[in-house]
Amino acid sequence: MGKQTLHLPLFETKEAKGKTIYKLFASTIFVGILLIWLYRLINMPSKGESGRLAWICMFLAEICFGFYWIITQSVRWNVIYTYPYKNRLSLRYEENLPDVDIFVCTADPIMEPPTMVINTILSVMPYNYPTQKLSIYLSDDGGSQYTFYALLEASQFSKYWIPFCKRFNVEPRSPAAYFQHDASNLNDKVFAQEWFNIKKLYEDMKSRIEASIENGSIPNEIKAQHKGFSEWNTKVTKQDHHSIVQILIDGRDHNMVDMDGNRLPTLVYMSREKKPNLPHNFKAGSMNSLIRVSSQISNAPIILNLDCDMYSNDPDAIRESLCFFMDENQGHKVAYVQYPQRYNNATKNDIYGNIARVTHEIELAGLGGYGAALYCGTGCLHRRESLCGRKFSEDQTFEWNNKLQEKSTYKTVEELEEASKVVANCSYEEGTQWGKQMGLLYGFPVEDIITGLTIQCRGWKSIYYKPSKPAFLGVAPTILDVALVQHKRWSEGMLQIFISKYCPFIYGHGKIKLGAQMGYCIYLLWAPLSVPTLTYVLVTSLSLLHGIPLFPEVNQLT
């Protein structure tokens, strides 16, 4: 192996097949569009003739459709798929794998039940990765003691869950998802025994958490188990509370081990300070607090972010992503690796279009082809440096070894918690570049898309990676009003980017490729496309009622 493996890349890119045929097909459509425009112009009723207004409206709508179609071609001509080689990574870097911080965000204990949140946490704790290199942070914008309690329970349960997952190599590693189905190999006596034990432990834990929520209080004997509960002695509400940071598992501690005697990952609960009169900037605010708090504790160079309703479905996901960051030739340019949003509750007919096949298999891969994969929030791994506002430069060297962590080994848990609380305070961001040049951008409902764009405009590349086995699985809206609210927020938020100073054609000019600028606009112009669509629908039906001909008749063509 030796030399030869050293020269093999850690990941490869391949063009989608059938590019030439697609280009031929697309050019026929383009000719078709031109002919439609021409037909409209030539046959336009002249001034005073009936139906002129309808024809003008049709023409304008068709112009919009045509241009939008042209924009969509940018990504379709450049579809590129990426393939990481995790075995090569292990061969070359097993001893030098970087630390990884995992951020999970939750905002409301009712909409996002604590048991769901800890299932996400428990799915990332048993990653096939050196546990002492993992630190997991839960940001609770709900400031709920039930979420804190659930996380405390999870920290205990993980001592059984992690060894169980690793010993029997079970998947998926979210207990709820795993126990949803009966185990297949219960004939194996040892396994069956363990399976029943763990399942019982999980269900007991779940009932304790749910019972406490139902009763509206946490039993005193449980409260006595951890100093953290004292944070809720004063009045704590979702909108108004002080910073809370509790390190539930200190991964540096060699005595913190699971039932098999193996080290545990660091586990931290945090709830940043909130004041009713100050903007909290939603998920972006939470992420920026997470970036700062984690910099005090573990400061890993790689950050994985997950929404609390999205669990890890592949224990090798971190290793696969690292192939992109650590590749000797191209890795240094990579700011983030985005996975598609896939769901474990997709319905057969997918009536709200959550699966979005064309988006996930073609368009996003096309943007990835320009090195400009969109940052879509959950299921994304970032290089901490690029997220913190640093510009890319070809000649900067990158250290995967973590100096700060070595330093922080001298600090006690209490010292780390105190230092972290300071950076999670509202006042910390005043007069700083946080939310502007550093971290996630504030002021946009889709903080992820805009943040991704600014990172790319600072010279970094991003990767879109859609493995055949989903790496993360989330919960898609299954009721109409939730789906509508989500789509409204996304489409409005994206239009807001287009009309701001961050419009990709202006802000991205000369910084990202024209194809990438166009690719962004497929989404940013999604909302206004409804105007020509509505026009088209209305004008055609009204014209039909009024007997105004808009299209050539079949016998005209012959």
Ligand X SMILES: O=c1ccn([C@@H]2O[C@H](COP(=O)(O)OP(=O)(O)O[C@H]3O[C@H](CO)[C@@H](O)[C@H](O)[C@H]3O)[C@@H](O)[C@H]2O)c(=O)[nH]1
Q: Within positions 99 to 128, which residues make up the interface with ligand X, using CB under 6 A?
A: 105-107, 112
Q: Please identify, using beta-carbon distances, which residue of 79 and 440 lies nearer to ligand X.
A: 440
Q: Provide φ and ψ at 134, rounded to 5°.
A: -105, 135
Give the H/E segment covering residue 102. Answer: strand 100-106
Q: Is 299 helix (H, G, I), strand (E, B) or coil?
A: coil
Q: How far is the CB of 286 from ligand X (least distance, A)?
A: 4
Block residue for tokens 């607090």: 289
Report the distance separating Cα 127 and Cα 313, nearest Å: 10
Q: How far is the CB of 476 from ligand X (least distance, A)?
A: 9
Contact (Cβ atoms closer than 8 angstroms) between residue 213 and residue 114: yes
Q: Please identify, using beta-carbon distances, which residue of 135 and 139 lies nearer to ligand X.
A: 139
Encoded one letter per residue, x for contact with ligand X by CB under 6 A and - for no contact, window 194-233 reads ----------------------------------------
Q: How far is the CB of 452 from ligand X (least distance, A)?
A: 10
How many residues bind ligand X (CB under 6 A)? The answer is 16
Encoded one letter per residue, x for contact with ligand X by CB under 6 A and - for no contact, window 125-164 reads --------------x-x-----------------------
List Cβ neighbours of 396 (8 Å cut-off, separation of 6 or more).
Answer: 332
Q: How far is the CB of 185 from ligand X (least distance, A)?
A: 34
Tell me if 274 contacts ligand X by CB under 6 A: no
R_g over Cα of the chain: 26
Tell me if 539 contacts ligand X by CB under 6 A: no
Report the distance separating Cα 404 and Cα 295, nearest Å: 8
Tell me if 308 contacts ligand X by CB under 6 A: yes
Q: Please identify, using beta-carbon distances, which residue of 262 and 496 lies nearer to ligand X.
A: 496
Tell me if 387 contacts ligand X by CB under 6 A: no
- Dihedral angle computed from the Cα positions of residues 331, 336, 337 and 341, in that order, rounded to the nearest 10 degrees: 180
Q: Which residues pair with 139 in a beta bridge?
A: 105, 270
Whether 253 has a binding-site annotation, put simply, is no
CA 97 to chain CA centroid, nearest Å = 23
- Among 284, 305, 292, which residue's Cα sits nearest to residue 424? 292
Tell me if 282 contacts ligand X by CB under 6 A: yes
Tell me if 323 contacts ligand X by CB under 6 A: no
Instruction: Point out the residues that are catalytic.
Output: 141, 448
Tell me if 264 contacts ligand X by CB under 6 A: no
Q: Within positions 435 to 474, which residues make up the interface with ligand X, using CB under 6 A?
A: 446, 448
Report the distance separating Cα 456 and Cα 462, nearest Å: 7
Q: Please identify, using beta-carbon distances, which residue of 286 and 298 lies nearer to ligand X.
A: 286
Stretch that binds ligand X, among 14-22, 149-157, 280-288, 511-519 (CB under 6 A): 280-288
| The 3-state secondary structure of 309-372, one letter per residue | CCEECCCCHHHHHHHHHHCCCCHHHEEEEECCCCECCCCCCCCCCCCCHHHHHHHHHHHHHCCE
Q: Please identify, using beta-carbon distances, which residue of 161 and 375 lies nearer to ligand X.
A: 375
Q: How far is the CB of 441 from ligand X (least distance, A)?
A: 12
- Among 260, 259, 308, 295, which residue's Cα sits nearest to residue 122? 308
CB-closest chain residue to ligand X? 377
Burial (Cβ within 10 Å: 0-12, 13-18, ≥19) of residue 7: exposed
Stretch that binds ligand X, among 45-53, 69-77, 279-287, 414-422 (CB under 6 A): 279-287
Region for 47 from its dihedrals, namely left if φ exceeds 0, alpha if ψ lies in -120 to 50, beta otherwise = beta
Q: Please identify, using beta-carbon distances, which residue of 64 and 453 lies nearer to ligand X.
A: 453
Tell me if 81 contacts ligand X by CB under 6 A: no
Whether 307 has a binding-site annotation, put simply, is yes
Q: Please identify, using beta-carbon distances, which residue of 246 and 286 lies nearer to ligand X.
A: 286
Whether 214 has a binding-site annotation, put simply, is no
CA 91 to chain CA centroid, nearest Å = 29
Q: Please identify, using beta-carbon distances, which residue of 137 and 324 lies nearer to ligand X.
A: 137
Instruction: Tell which one of 265, 369, 377, 439 touches ligand X (CB under 6 A).
Output: 377
Tell me if 270 contacts ligand X by CB under 6 A: no
CA 456-308-159 angle, 5° bins: 115
Q: Within positions 469 to 498, which residues make up the interface with ligand X, using CB under 6 A?
A: 486
Whether 112 has a binding-site annotation, put simply, is yes
Report the distance separating Cα 383 and Cα 160, nearest Å: 31
Question: Which residue positions form the known binding site for Mn(2+)?
Answer: 283, 307
Enumerate binding residues for ligand X (CB under 6 A). 105-107, 112, 139, 141, 282-283, 286, 307-308, 377-378, 446, 448, 486
